[in-house]
Structure formats: C-alpha cells, structure tokens
Chain A
Amino acid sequence: MNWRALAVLGLSLASAAHAAEPPSPARAAALSHMLHQECGACHGLRLTGGLGSPLTAAALADKPADSLTATILDGRPGSAMPPWRPFVSADEARWLVEQLQQGRLP
C-alpha cells in the first residue's frame, strides 16, 4: 500500500468519525426490525405515520439530524414519543436518522 492509499484511508476514516459509526450487519438488521415493528407501532410499518408523524425521507428531509437524534434518544415530553435511550446508543440513533433521512430503510 503506498502513501496515497494510506491518505485516502485516513481521509475516509476521518469523515466516518463525523457520521455515525455504522453498526455491525447483525445489529443493523436488529435496528431495522425494531424500526419497522416497534417504532412502526406508532409511525406505521412503512413509516408513513400513525399516532406518530411520518418518518419518510420526504417528511424528515429538512429537519436537523441532531434534533431528530435527540428525539429518538430522549423522546418528546408532552407527546406520545417515548425515549429509546435504554435500547439504542447515541451512535445507533444517529445512524437511524441517517438511514431515515436517506430513505434507506423503506
């Protein structure tokens, strides 16, 4: 491996640090299952909304990822959105928001 390849690797590692640490494939599958089933209880199996608002890419496009991540972790007091901190880490919540905003968990 030459220095160039190393630099590219370093760069991609550095940028990955800003995005969420991607979960292992097994954990990603578990999170996706949770999203559609448990979150789906309020947001709909296809995330098109229910008692909870839609979580489609279109619905979340313009919303800041930080605040959406915080909503997942700590819920929204006064609404029916519960806190999921006992079940997902901060990284996992951020990863979920990324997937949702990119419509990658349809």
Chain B
Amino acid sequence: MIARLLSALSAALCLLLAACASPPLRGTGDLGVVIERARGSVQIVEQSARRSLGRVDGLGDLSHASVVFSRDGRYAYVFGRDGGLSQVDVLSQRLVKRVMQAGNSIGGAISSDGRIVAAQNYQPGGVKLFDADTLELLAEVSTGGSKVVGLADLPGNRFAFSLFEAGEIWLIDASQPRAPQVTRYPNIGRQPYDGLASQDGRHYLAGLYGEDGLALLDTWQPEQGVRRILNGYGRGRAALPVYKMPHLRGWSLAGDYAFLPAIGHHQVLIADRRSWQEVARVPVHGQPVFVMAEPGGRRVWVNFAFPHNDTVQVIDVPSRQIVATLKPGRAILHMEFTARGDAVWLSSRDDNRLTVIDTATLNTIAELDAEQPSGIFFTWRAQRMGM
C-alpha cells in the first residue's frame, strides 16, 4: 500500500518536474508567424487561443518580409528586405540560422520536396538556392540584374518567377539543386510586378504593371508558351496612380474563378478559370492589394493601397456584390485565413495591432498587440503548393 502510494507520488513528481524542464509536447499546425517590420522581429502566434506565444528578434530589415515553412511546420524561413534569410524555430522560438544572401531581397519559396529554399532578389537580381537544413548556398541563377518578382514553387522541385525589367517568365528545374536548368519565356509583357502558381501547381500567372493584362503559363503544356489573358481590361479609362503594388498568390484562384486586382483601377477582376475570360468586374473602395478568396471560395476579401488602407471589403462570389465594408484599423497591410477559414487575422501597421475576425459573423473576436505588423503567415502554408 505504502509502496504503491510512494510510486504514484514519485510518478506525479516526475511529471511535474518534466513539465518544468521542457514545454509540453505540441504540434505546430495551430501556429503562425507575424512580421513586425520596423522592429525586425517576428511574433509566434497561436491561432485557436488567439494569443502570442513569444517573439524572436534580430531579423534585420523586415519591410516587405515574407515567410515559407519547412515541411514539418517547425521552421519558418524569413526573407528580409536587407537580403537576410533567417531560419526561425517556431516551437523553441529561437533564431536558428541567419545568412545575408543579397543586397535587397523580396521573398522566397520552398521546393516541393522541402529541401531547397529559394530566395528572390532585387539587388543584385537573380535567385539563390539554399539547403533547407543548413542554409548552405547550392546554386545561383543570375538574371542579369533584372529584379525577380513572383517566385513560386511548382511540382517536381521546379520554380517559376518573373523579371520586372526584362519582362520575362523563367522556369527553373532544381531536381539537380546544384545545377538548376533554366527555361526562359521572353516577351510576356511590360513590368511584371508579381506572380502566382495555382494550388495544383499547373498554372503560373504574372500580373503586369506596364500593361492591362496578365501573362499565363500552363506548365502542363509549356511548349505552348505564355499567353496573355484579360488583355486591355482598363481600355478606354485613364489609369489611376498605384501607391502600392498588389500581391498575387494561390488564394486568387478558388472554385471556378480567378479573382485579380486591376492595376490602376479600383476594381477586382473575376475570370473564368477554364477559359480565362473575364466574367465580371467588381468596383471596390480603392486600389486592391490583396484579393484573397476564403479557403472555401465563397467570399473574397480585399484590402487596399494608400490612402484607402483603413478599409477591407468582402465580396460575395455568387452575387458578385460587396457584402461588407470593414474599418478594422489604420494601414491594414495583410490578411491571413485559418486553414479552414473560420477566422481571418488582419494586421494594422499604424495601430500596432492584430485583429482577429470571425468570418461567419464578421465580429472582431480578439485583438493582439504587435509592433507595426505586416505579413501574417500560418503554418498550413507548409502543406500548400504555391505558398
């Protein structure tokens, strides 16, 4: 009896001690990373509890920073403006490794096998491939100084990206990571500003700043080359100034439709995903920056460039009507849905705040402090092509 009690006691004590010595086991699927652009830090957040778990500092200049995740959702690779590439452990909330890989960088992607991290650079241009574990440089693809935009992963350890000055789409096959093979598609249109790969990895789309239209590559039929879609969407109307470049990613394609920002027009373009023909234009509050379909595709959320960046609008897809206009804070820079879309997190740079909105009721269900937050990245991205 006494012996039993003792052993039970000691077991309880062990548990207690273990709990003190190391945090309880947990997965990363409910976590995310929020960029604090001016402080050069990220916060690790928990989606369901809607709270911050901690902060990792020392990541450099994070204006326009973006993040991709390792396959196991444990490591966040943070691409900073100053060319820094940082590997952050979201579980232990630690900076694991950091390399300065360029003078001026804009984002990156991770390969389909999860072993190569690719960084896209403005200065000196080009794409660099790194070993995802060690951040050792594997190869460098020079673009002759042209700025690289819209880098996206494709199946088979391939990547696609566009060249702002040169007006080209390049496809790289990194199945030999130290000797990537490049296929160039020239003359895709003037000044591509960003690009996206569809969630099935089939289509690559580049948005054009210098022309009304987008360039489309069907990677199932690469021999057919790049074709223009939604050409001349602004025809006959003077373009308005663009105070911030829109961002394109896989969330633009949902169900039967593609939802895209019209450059220089206060409109969201809706195209048929099979024919790529325009089906509608929805007038909105300003120049769209992010045009994001909810994971279910039923509604599309839009935020806007300066000076309209205090507003977020929600478009109902079947009726193509704006069903809500929200004012969630000053300088709303980014939105991130949970994987199944029950909530959306918004960053308000000038209110130093994250706002969590219940997508069913559109009510604010939580607010968190953050220093000039910009991008919010949830770990579901680890499992998604084109993210």
Contacts and interface: CB of A to CB of B under 8 A. Distances in A.
Interface string B59-86: 0011110000000000000000110000
A82 B244 CA distance: 9
Contact of B104 (A36, A44, A87): A44
Contact of B123 (A41, A46, A49, A78): A49
Main secondary structure of the interface of B (DSSP, over half): loop
B307 A87 contact: yes
A57 B210 CA distance: 29
Nearest to A83: B241
Contact of B38 (A41, A42, A45, A50): A45
A91 interface: no
Nearest to B62: A45
Given A46-B63, A48-B104, A41 B244 contact: yes
A42 B305 CA distance: 12
Contact of A45 (B81, B164, B350): B81
B197 to A, nearest CB: 21
What band does the interface of chain A fall in when counting residues whose beta carbon is under 8 Å from B?
A: 10 to 19
Contacts of B209: 80
A23 to B, nearest CB: 18
Contact of B122 (A38, A40, A49): A49
A51 interface: yes
B63 A40 contact: yes
Nearest to B106: A50
A46 B123 CA distance: 15
Q: Which of B81, B106, B350 counts the most A-chain CB atoms under 10 A from its CB?
A: B81
Given A37-B331, A51-B122, A45 B245 contact: no
Contacts of B242: 80, 82
B148 to A, nearest CB: 11
A39 B79 CA distance: 20
B229 to A, nearest CB: 22
B245 A44 contact: no
A49 B121 CA distance: 12
B334 interface: no
A80 B38 contact: no
* Chain B interface residue bracket vs A: 20 to 34
B306 interface: yes
A104 B359 CA distance: 44
B147 interface: yes
A50 B37 CA distance: 15
Contact of B241 (A45, A48, A51, A82): A82
Contacts of A75: 241
Residue from A42, A50, A78 whose CB has the most chain B CB atoms within 10 Å? A50
Contacts of B64: 41, 44-45, 50
Interface in B84-108: 104, 106
A105 to B, nearest CB: 14
B307 A50 contact: no
A66 B61 CA distance: 30
A38 B106 CA distance: 16
Given A37-B331, A80-B191, A83-B241, A51 B63 contact: no
Contacts of A41: 63-64, 243-245, 306
A40 B374 CA distance: 13
A87 B209 CA distance: 22
Given A46-B82, A51-B147, A80-B191, 17 more contacts: A36-B38, A37-B331, A38-B243, A38-B306, A41-B244, A42-B244, A42-B245, A44-B63, A45-B37, A45-B81, A48-B104, A49-B104, A50-B64, A50-B104, A51-B245, A80-B193, A87-B307
19 contacts: A36-B38, A37-B349, A38-B244, A40-B63, A41-B64, A41-B243, A41-B306, A42-B245, A44-B64, A45-B61, A45-B64, A48-B61, A50-B64, A50-B122, A51-B164, A51-B193, A80-B191, A80-B242, A87-B307
> Which 3 A-B residue pairings sit nearest by Cβ, starting from the closest?
A45-B63, A82-B241, A38-B306
Interface of B: 37-38, 61-64, 81-82, 104, 106, 122-123, 147, 164, 191, 193, 209-210, 241-245, 306-307, 331, 349-350
